[in-house]
């Protein structure tokens, strides 16, 4: 059985390019400017963080916690699919590894928690349908993470944009490639 190389569609290539451009734009954000990045509550008169003030903006903690919940749910769904279809485990291993890294990176921010996962959808009876479900979930998560990144700035925005770009690519690897007819 011959394995064909992965061919990305034009749409996936353009989406990945768009997300990559977004990541590069966000990479230009400077965290060291006053009032940017992940600020706590600062006393404008003295320029120091007020006692009892959060060290990380609660909006950033909420966005990263929500992202951690999505990544955790994706990882759980990959595990379910791998359990039902053991032959797919090698194909799913890279995505599980990347999502574990994303989850660890999200949890580096103080205050970020992983919410309990909602009930996961049932794994379809055919492996192709299970892969299509994972690809659909990757796409939905990438859209959610890109939208959250657009509302933030600094390192939190860059992290969410990077995760969104990764999810687009992971989702593309799950879909079957279309065979090009010989002319």
Tokens of 85: 């279809």
Nearest to 92 by CA among 134, 151, 150: 134
Check pLDDT > 50 for residue 180: no
pLDDT of 25: 58
What's the confidence (pLDDT) of residue 88?
93
Q: How far is CA 144 from CA 37, 88, 104, 163, in A?
A: 20, 26, 19, 10
Q: Does the pLDDT of residue 6 top 90, yes or no?
A: no
- The better pLDDT of the pair 14, 86 is held by 86
Contact 165, 141 (CB under 8 A): no
Instruction: Answer whether residue 73 shows pLDDT above 50.
Output: yes
* Mean pLDDT, the chain, integer: 80
**Parallel, antiparallel or unpaired: strands 42-43 and 48-49:** antiparallel
pLDDT band at 51; cut points 50, 70, 90:
low
Judged against a pLDDT cut of 90, whether residue 182 lies above it is answered with: no
Cα angle 119, 157, 44 (rounded to 5 degrees) comes to 120
| Residue extents of the structural domains in the chain | 56-174
pLDDT confidence of 132, banded at 50, 70, 90? very high
Of the candidate CATH numbers 1.50.10.10, 1.20.1260.10, 3.40.50.300, 2.60.40.3500, the domain formed by 56-174 belongs to: 1.20.1260.10
pLDDT bucket at 47, cuts 50 / 70 / 90:
low
pLDDT, tens digit (0-9, with 9 covering 90-100), for 134-165: 999 999 999 999 999 999 988 999 999 999 99
């Amino acid at each position: 059985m011959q394995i064909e190389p992965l061919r990305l569609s034009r749409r996936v290539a353009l989406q990945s390019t768009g997300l990559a451009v977004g990541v590069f734009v966000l990479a230009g954000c400077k965290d060291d400017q006053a009032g940017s990045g992940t600020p706590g509550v600062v006393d404008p008169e003295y320029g120091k963080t007020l006692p009892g003030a959060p060290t990380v903006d609660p909006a950033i903690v909420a966005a990263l916690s929500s992202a951690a919940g999505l990544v955790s749910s994706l990882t759980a769904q990959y595990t379910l699919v791998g359990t039902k279809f053991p032959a797919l485990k090698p194909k799913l291993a890279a995505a599980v590894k990347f999502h574990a890294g994303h989850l660890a990176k999200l949890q580096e921010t103080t205050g970020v928690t992983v919410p309990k996962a909602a009930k996961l959808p049932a794994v379809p009876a055919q492996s192709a349908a299970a892969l299509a479900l994972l690809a659909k979930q990757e796409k939905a998560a990438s859209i959610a993470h890109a939208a959250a990144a657009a509302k933030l700035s600094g390192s939190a925005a860059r992290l969410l944009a990077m995760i969104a770009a990764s999810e687009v690519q992971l989702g593309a690897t799950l879909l079957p490639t279309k065979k090009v007819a010989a002319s």
